[in-house]
Structure 1
Amino acid sequence: MGDLRGVWYGVRVVAAYELAQRLQSRRRLVTLAVLLALLIGVPFALARFLAPELPDEFEIEELAVGLSGSSAVFMFVAITLFASDVLNSVVADKSNRVIEVLLSSLRPYQLMAGKILGVGAYGLVSFSVLVGAVAISAGLIVPSSLGIRLTVDAGSAWILLLTIFWFVVGYFLFAALYAALGATVSRIEDVNQAVLPVTLVSVVVYLVAYMLVITPLGETGWGRALAMLPMLSQFAVPGLVLSGALSWPLALLAGAINVAALPPAIWFAGRVYSGSALAVGARVPLLRAWRGQSGPD
């Protein structure tokens, strides 16, 4: 029990430091404020400008399709942004050799977990605020500008909670992979090459998810099956539920599959991170990091 308390204490210290660093950054807070203003102000201005041009047969279904596509884009940008923040933190610690000091009193997995949780806490708060702004804009401001009356019910609240859930799942998955790959390099200029595999996969699954959301493909059997896949679900499921193409039981099944995929993904990331955290100089191959054959040069 004492060992567990010690492990959790180390994780909590790192997480608190990472969170405090971001909350004290004026640049980040100003960026968040600007995004809030854009998410509320721009849709309102566009709706007011485009309302006279909309055809009489404009229906709520068209608005739902647009919101579904936007949810995939928004989720992709948010998850990539905050997961990349973990990557940058890991590489920064290695490039200035701070990681050697940290690992003299912490275990590698404590440091990795603390970074993921600290950045994730800031990301969750920021994402929740931005989702709230989008909900206000999409659910109240824009419809009223277009002469559409929407009602907010329990289903709307569940969709918001579903969106936040998928952000958390997607963030932990991508942040763990980014942290592991970031630990294999010690120079900023090597980062892009190190994370290229995950970047390519994330772009491909995002494009597939976007097509599922905005086209009838999401209503087919194989389209629903694709939406269950980890790394793709977080981009597709919120939009498919919003458009009505995916039922709540299937959405819950996708959530269970993705939650079950987190432990092996985090375990893999932790092993690679532990095997390459102290390596400096050239990039550490994944197989060598997996075997734990790297160390300070």
Structure 2
Amino acid sequence: MEKKIQHIPVLLQESITALNIKNDGFYVDATFGMGGHSKAILSCLGKKGKLIAIDCDPYSIDFSRTIKDSRFSIIHGQFSSIENYLLKRKLHGKINGILFDLGMSSMQVDDPLRGFSFLNNGNLDMRMNPSYGLSAKEKLKYAKEEEICWILKTYGEEKFAKKIAREIFLYNQKNTISTTKELTNIVIKSIRFNKKLLRHPATRTFQAIRIWVNNELNELKTALKKTSAILAPYGRLVIISFHSLETRIIKEIILEKNNIVNIPKNIPLYSKQLISLEKNFKILPKIKPSKQEIANNPRSRSAILRIAEKLKK
């Protein structure tokens, strides 16, 4: 009998409250996953409300068919193309709320065939969309040692990046790293494994390779740059992030748009008015999981929910 995968949405009630859902509003769940947030949004919408979900994972698209609701539709694609999707549906500038949950779904992490987890042995794939692009196995096979080191250091903030990259490269010269267990063993061999560590030694390596394989940070940058134009006045942008790399991008794209440009004192006043940046968003206080949620769902411990409300032009 196949084990049923249970997914617990992170910061569920907090994110729904943050969206400030209008009865007849238009909303986007940019990361459908297993539909936990989408179902909660639909429960708050009236008959004239609409929810558009996006996901690049074909398994999520299959799972979405369990939602029988005329107010709901889903797009199989990258959320970096969010603006194009809404332009085609003539909803550009009319969206009342957009939700990004940047965490992995249990359906992805707990399935050994997907290759995301160092705890479950399986094929070293790591693609969000298994039918698109190269797998982690294929990309690592042809990557140079210097490139692997850069990936681990940049996307995983791994302090042992050089040692791990060296071992990965040498292993692939004789064999091919085909499974998650092989990669995990290589990482453990490369560094001193202390059982008292709070996190598994392969955590950062797996994160880095997953981000690289799926081009995650560029996808996020592209999507966030479009959100201001997509949202209606007073529309809410709600983002649940899990690591510092995502945080940096959110601050870079969203928070910096609310700062006036630093202009030299010798520039005339009228010129200052012309080149100063108008604020796009009102930033609301960030929210972290409660102790109770972390106890119920340990995967939520690093989550941070950020809220930005578009200002009326």
Q: Would you say same fold, with TM above 0.5?
A: no
TM, length-normalised to structure 1: 0.29
TM, length-normalised to structure 2: 0.28
Q: Which has the higher strand share?
A: 2
Higher RCO (CA < 8 A, seq sep 6+) = 1
